[in-house]
Amino acid sequence: MKVLVPVKRVVDYNVKVRVKSDQSGVDIANVKMSMNPFDEIAVEEAVRLKEAGKATEIIAVSCGVLQSQETLRTAMAIGADRAVLVETDVELQPLAVAKLLKAVADKEQPQLIILGKQAIDDDANQTGQMLAALLDWPQATYASKVEVDGDKVKVTREVDGGLETVQLSLPAIVTTDLRLNEPRYVTLPNIMKAKKKQLDNFKPADLGVDVTPRLKTLKVSEPPKRSAGIIVPDVATLVDKLKNEAKVI
């Protein structure tokens, strides 16, 4: 079974992002970048499937700037066998990414695609669902457990009411949630091995995909700063402030 794992290069989750002075976007100059945490979970799950004898090959794929090669090398250090970069400087939106991934999937013919449920930069949570629609494959989102058995995959999903278990016929798409697994620590020997693994580079035009943005960002602004809390002497004062000042009751 061949597994395709899309990964995205994002601002590291430990970095406090700052909005540009012209409010055109987030300032990423000289900021630490890393693999999207949900995608890292997806790579780990694919590697575990291979270690269990369920998968034979893992292909990591990323769409974006040339520096995304670093993210793909990290994926290969975790355990991916080879990687594909669809290089473009255009700001990619979820539909464009889904179309690029469909083109890669048509070329590679994987039986399973595992990707993060969302990226922590735009929080769109759309690419996996759009890709499933374009490929006309069954999908299971917010996975907290994945079990492959023959040509079926059983996925335990996290839903508002608790847990839901669904069974899909392969080929299928699975998007990962935080509790699916804990990614392994990447060792130096594996980082060195990853440098020798195959990394193919394509342009969107090579795949016949138009990635022109369909949405325009008008303004990016920081949320308003929260005012400091106050301590009230008794319940009556609290109720009075909630009623007359906050006007929530």
Q: What are the φ and ψ backbone dihedral angles of 105, each rounded to 5 degrees?
A: -65, -40
47-96 confidence digits (pLDDT tens): 999 999 999 999 999 999 999 999 999 999 999 999 999 999 888 999 99
203-231 confidence digits (pLDDT tens): 999 999 999 888 888 888 888 888 888 89
CATH label, 2-223, candidates 3.40.50.300, 2.40.50.140, 3.40.50.620, 3.30.70.1400: 3.40.50.620
pTM here is 0.83
Strands (E), 13-151: 33-35, 57-64, 82-87, 112-116, 139-149
Beta strand pairing status for 172-176 and 112-116? parallel
What are the angstrom distances between the C-alpha of 7 and each of 89, 222, 224, 228?
16, 27, 32, 39
Sorted by where each begins, the domain ranges of the chain are 2-223
pLDDT at 5 over 90: yes
109-163 confidence digits (pLDDT tens): 999 999 999 999 888 999 999 999 999 999 999 999 999 998 999 999 988 888 9
Beta-bridge partner residues of 166: 155
